[in-house]
Amino acid sequence: MSNNTLLLLIPWMMSFVFLLVAVILLVVVPLRMKKNTAVCTVPVTARIVNFIKDHFDNRADSFRAPMYAPVYEFLYNGEVQSVASHLYSNKKPNIGEVRTLMIDPQNVSHFYDPSTRGRTKLITTIVGVAMLVMGIIAVIAGILLVPVFQSF
């Protein structure tokens, strides 16, 4: 394969990646959120009792800011349940804060926090649209570069 052919493939590969991420963020994430809403039907009052702190970087010289995920406790069917969120934030959770969670009655570790739903939708939509635009730009660049590289 010649260098020109490889150069022509770069915008197409980039457009594929950008468009794939856009589809995941604009289609798959909302469908999963809708499924969670359908399955997690029981509201419970939960208290933040702890948090998980992670830097998501194992290098000793990392200056990456820590991220936090709340650990909740709530009473369900007469038993105290403890569950950790899978959503991390740079804001440290307030120990003792009370929130309403929506849980799956079949599996209490499957839950979501309705108070974070709006931010999640907004962020995934903004990033998804940005990826879609970048994918379209990469497709246009690929189309425009074909005549340029064919002349070499």
What per-residue confidence (pLDDT) applies to 65?
Answer: 81
Q: What is the pTM of this model?
A: 0.74
Reported as a single tens digit per residue, the pLDDT across 112-125 is 999 888 888 899 99
59-73, 90-104, 105-119: the lowest-pLDDT one = 59-73
The mean per-residue pLDDT over the stretch 82-97 comes to 92
Cα angle at 53 between 51 and 56, to 5 degrees?
145
CA 124 to chain centre: 7
User: In this predicted structure, what is the pLDDT of residue 90?
Assistant: 87
Range of lowest pLDDT (5-9, 14-18, 40-44): 5-9
User: Cα-flanking dihedrals φ and ψ of residue 151, to 5°?
Assistant: -80, -15
Q: Where do the DSSP E strands lie in the chain?
A: 42-54, 67-76, 79-84, 98-104, 107-112
